[in-house]
Structure 1
Amino acid sequence: MATRIRPSSKRCAVIGGSGFLGRHLVERLVEKGYSVAVFDIAQRYEVPGVTFHQGDLCDKQALVKVLKDVSLVFHCASPSPACDDRNLFWKVNVEGTRTVIQACQEARVQKLVLTSSASVVFEGTDIKNGKEDLPYAKRPIDYYTETKIQQEKVVLEACSKEKDFLTVAIRPHGIFGPRDPQLVPILVDTARKGKMKFIIGDGTNLVDFTYVENVVHGHILAAEHLKPDSPLCGKAYHITNDEPIRFWDFMSQVLVGLGYDAPRYHLPYALVYGIAMLLWLITSLLRPLVNIKPTFTPMRVALAGTHHYYSCSRAKQDMGYQPVVRLKEAIARTVASYPHLRR
């Protein structure tokens, strides 16, 4: 029986490589000398030497073709957290991830690094310096979180040294940076509509915002440290900037940097959260008749008005993680990358 020649550890695939995080990850992997294949539902850019494959991650055979000579897979495909389609979240984050695992095992991929989320332990109440041993949210407050919990469980449970298939999950929080299609554009759009005048709560709540280059750095460190004898096998790791900041101070720095006024007026957290819950209930009841998307969702209000920051001590200890770009510099780079959104 012919023995299979192992592919080089520098041959990798990025599933979801056309997205915001995926593209930054692809570019950094190329810089570090990796041979990269991208699998995504659409191709949105070109990088010399990178091969692109368009397809549905629920199509196992299409995935197997791409992964057959790959030793390492990064899985960062997911619908946007702002999406309100539970079926789509379930299809991509849960069913799609099961298919990814099956394809990896069939193609005899050795390592799978999942982009999870720190929100898998968040229920809308304060988390201060949260560690990875916090229980999964029993009452996840949006479909994104609900399905990311299931996704992370499936990936970590698939880790098997006997089968030569190792997995690890990276839990970033509050990703931002150049080319982000969510945080800064939505923030500016809200400011232009005159809706960024109010601070929810007393404004003292601390939150992690994580620069995209640091998230990429965490992913690559995890991949390079993931070995049969390493503590990473089957575990989750928080990756943040390790610099908790007041949520509204961060928003104000971005807004002021782009020429907009910082929010000034305070609204009671309980009142706004109550209104958001009521609107969510009404829109849920009306959904069979009309599709309304409220601006204030319970999740958005909770993220804006509670403490939620996480410890990176496990990542520091097990893979030597340290942020490569500090928060002040990260905010400056991000603001400078959006000249078209200036006031």
Structure 2
Amino acid sequence: MATRVRPSSKRCAVIGGSGFLGRHLVEKLVDRGYTVSVFDIRQSYELPGVTFHQGDLCDKQALLLAMKDVSLVFHCASPAPASDDRRLFERVNIEGTRTVIQACNEAGVQKLVLTSSASVVFEGTDVKNGGEDLPYAKKPIDYYTQTKIQQEKSRTFLGLSFVSQLVLEAFDEGKGLLTVAIRPHGIFGPRDPQLVPILVDSARKGKMRFIIGDGTNVVDFTYVENVVHGHILAAERLRPGSPICGKPYHITNDEPVRFWDFMSEVLVGLGYAAPRYHLPYAVVYGLALLLWLLALILRPLVSFKPTFTPMRVALAGTHHYYSCERAKRDLGYKPLVSLKEGIARTVQSYPHLRRGA
């Protein structure tokens, strides 16, 4: 009987490796001596020592090619939260994740690290120093959050309550696929295609003059290098018997800041005026909810996307910051880049978005 060759611990696959977080993760893994296979629907860059595989996340055979001789998989593929496309979120975050797990089992992958989100416990009301023991949002206020909850709580991911015969055959230890979820919040940094470009576009259109609420709400923003650091720490500590198996971990900069102070620092750093006029939170949220419902009702007839969704308004006007004490204790996590330094690096990386550029 042929002996099964165990994949090298330094060979890994990054699903969604062409995205914002994925690319930063791939670069850091290469720096740490990993051989990396990237799977994504597109290839957005080239990097020595990295193999790219293009394909559909729901295509198991395509995934298997990317997972050949791989022991570790990072799954950080997800549509942008702002897309508000329910079918796309379901296909990628639920169906795609199910296919990833099936492919991992068939390929003999030992460890799977999921990029989740702290938003899985956020319902649009204040969360202050929230821990991982908070219950999942019962009434998630956007499709991204709804499908992220389903992705994470699925019995095929966290809290594995069953081990299929296929997994038993794949691993000598009989432990099955080891899993852990990383829950970052408010990721930002160089090459971010969402936060800074959208912020600048809004400023150029005169839409960043207003503060939603009284402006005192405190939130977490997390520099992308710190999120990558949390992923790699989790992967390197994920082993049979480890206390991190099947658990979620918040990863933040551990420096909660006023939401509008952060936005103002980025805007001013790029040459734009800081917001200064206040709008009542309840009024703006109610209007956003009304527009969102109207868009939903009219979708079969006409398509339009409101600028402010209920989730965006809630994120801008409520407290939502999270404890990463569990990550400090179990992963040895400590942010590598301070919030101040992260903002400075981010602003410097967008010279083309400066006012007058």
TM-score by length of 2: 0.95
- Report Cα offsets for 1:182-227 as digits up to 9, x if no partner: 0000000000000100000000000000000000000000000011
Distance 1:174 1:133 in 2: 20
1:86-123 per-position Cα deviation (integer Å, ceiling 9, x unaligned):
01110110000000000000001000000000000000
The equivalent position to 2:204 in structure 1, one of 192, 199, 202, is: 192
- Structure 2 letter corresponding to 1:117: S
Ranges in structure 1 where 5+ consecutive residues have no aligned partner: none
Secondary structure class of the residue paired with 2:82:
coil
Return the letter of the residue paired with 1:58.
Answer: C
Match of 1:48 in 2: 48
Per-residue CA distance 1:64-85 (angstroms, 9 max, x = gap): 1221200000000011101121
How far residue 57 of structure 1 moved from its aligned partner, in angstroms, is 1.1
Distance in 2, Cα, partners of 1:64 & 1:48: 22
> What residue is the counterpart of 2:270 in the other structure?
258
Q: Does structure 1 residue 164 correspond to structure 2 residue 185?
A: no
Distance in 2 (CA, whole Å) between partners of 1:69 and 1:296 is: 45
> CA separation in 1, counterparts of 2:200 and 2:80?
18
Question: How far apart are 1:50 and its partner, in Å?
Answer: 0.2
Deviations 1:285-305 (A, max 9, x none): 111100110001100000000
Q: Aligned ranges for residues 1-343 of structure 1 at < 5 Å?
A: 1-154=1-154, 155-158=157-160, 162-343=174-355
Whole-Å Cα distance in 1 between the matches of residues 308 and 83 of structure 2? 14
CA shift for structure 1 position 163: 3.7
Q: Determine the C-alpha separation between the residues in 2 that align with 1:158 and 1:99.
A: 16
Judge conservation of contact 1:14–1:39 (CA < 8 Å) in 2.
yes
Aligned length: 343
> For the residues of structure 1 that align with 2:256 and 2:308, how far apart are their CA atoms?
24
Paired amino acid for 2:269: G
Tell me which amino acid in the other structure corresponds to 2:31: E
| AA partner of residue 271 (structure 2) | G
| Cα distance in 1 for residues equivalent to 2:278 and 2:57 | 44
Q: Distance in 2 between matches of 1:121 and 1:274?
A: 21
Q: In 1, Cα distance between the equivalents of 2:17 and 2:66?
A: 13
Is the contact between residue 159 and residue 247 of structure 2 (CA under 8 Å) also seen in structure 1?
A: no
Partners in 2 of 1:88 and 1:282 — Cα distance?
20
Is residue 101–residue 158 contact of structure 1 (8 Å, CA) maintained in 2?
A: no
1:183 is matched by which residue type in structure 2?
Answer: L
> Which amino acid is the alignment partner of residue 137 of structure 1?
A
How far did 1:165 drift?
Answer: 1.2
Cα distance, 1:332 vs. partner?
A: 0.3
State the alpha-carbon separation in 1 of the partners of residues 276 and 200 from structure 2. 16
* Letter of the structure 2 residue corresponding to residue 245 of structure 1: V
CA distance in 2, matches of 1:162, 1:80: 37
Q: Which stretch of the first structure deviates more once superposed, 272-281 or 94-103? A: 272-281
Query: Structure 1 vs Structure 2: percent identity of aligned residues?
Result: 82
What letter matches 2:274 in structure 1? A
TM-score w.r.t. length of structure 1: 0.99
- SS of 1:112's equivalent in the other structure is strand
**8 Å Cα contact 2:187/2:227 also seen in 1:** yes
Q: How far is 1:283 from its partner?
A: 1.0
Cα separation, 1, equivalents of 2:66 and 2:228: 22
Aligned mates of 2:226, 2:40 — CA distance in 1: 23
Aligned equivalents of 2:87 and 2:64: distance in 1? 24
3-state secondary structure, aligned to 1:180: coil
**What's the offset of the Cα at 1:321?**
0.1
Equivalent-residue separation in structure 2 for 1:264 and 1:162 (angstroms): 59
